[in-house]
């Protein structure tokens, strides 16, 4: 199977690989997928008090398209507001990476990972009673929780 140039490029040089401390209150962690399905994405967002995504990191167990989708997602969300990141659609990733139909689930997983990370961040903030400048709109966490 042939991969698109952009998938290969992200696969060879993945952006923002790594981890933040998941106990940091400014960090939201999304862990989605399942080992049995051959795809697990961990995406973490570092979010400022005024709701700007300052940094993002990921680790992915999965095929090249899954790695590329998560790498691209971290690149895109940096500098976005939480609301802007929530509005990202998997179809944008499909388009950017020229993913074939069989790989669309990789982009869905990346979208889910962003939403899961934001949901985790919001849950943490509300637990600590902090008032963040994030919108009240909440996403149900589609992924797994540790």
Residues of this chain that interact with other proteins (CB under 8 A) are 1, 3, 8, 11, 14, 17, 19, 31-42, 59-64, 66-67, 102, 105, 108-109, 112, 142-146
Q: Based on CB atoms, which residue is closest to other proteins, 77 or 109?
A: 109
Q: Based on CB atoms, which residue is closest to other proteins, 131 or 140?
A: 140
Q: Is 63 assigned a catalytic role?
A: no
Residue 107 C-beta: closest distance to other proteins, Å:
12
How far is it, in rounded angstroms, from Cα 29 to Cα 143? 10
Residue 5 C-beta: closest distance to other proteins, Å:
13
Half-sphere exposure of 90 (CA within 13 A, CB side): 17
DSSP state of 3: P
Q: Based on CB atoms, which residue is closest to other proteins, 39 or 55?
A: 39
Q: Is 106 assigned a catalytic role?
A: yes
Which of 34, 37, 137, 144 does the annotation list as catalytic?
A: 37
How far is it, in rounded angstroms, from Cα 65 to Cα 54? 25
Sign of CA dihedral 24, 26, 27, 30: positive
Which of 27, 45, 82, 106 does the annotation list as catalytic?
A: 106
Residue 129 C-beta: closest distance to other proteins, Å:
28
Q: Which residues contact 28 (CB under 8 A, 6 or more apart)?
A: 44, 45, 47, 117, 118, 119, 120, 121, 122, 124
Q: Which residue has the tokens 């990141």?
A: 85
Q: Based on CB atoms, which residue is closest to other proteins, 14 or 51?
A: 14
Catalytic residue ranges: 37, 106
């Amino acid at each position: 199977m042939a991969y698109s140039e952009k998938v290969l490029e992200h696969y060879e040089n993945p952006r923002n690989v790594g981890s933040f401390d998941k106990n940091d209150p400014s960090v939201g962690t999304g862990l989605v997928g399942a080992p049995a399905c051959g795809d697990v994405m961990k995406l973490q967002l570092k979010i400022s008090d005024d709701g700007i995504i300052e940094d993002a990191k990921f680790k992915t167990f999965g095929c090249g398209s899954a790695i590329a989708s998560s790498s691209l997602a971290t690149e895109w969300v940096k500098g976005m507001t939480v609301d802007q990141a929530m509005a990202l659609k998997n179809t944008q990733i499909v388009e950017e990476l020229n993913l074939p139909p069989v790989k669309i689930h990789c982009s869905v997983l990346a979208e889910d990972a962003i939403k899961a990370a934001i949901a985790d961040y919001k849950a943490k903030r509300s637990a600590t009673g902090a008032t963040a400048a994030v919108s009240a709109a909440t996403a149900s966490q589609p992924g797994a929780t540790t």
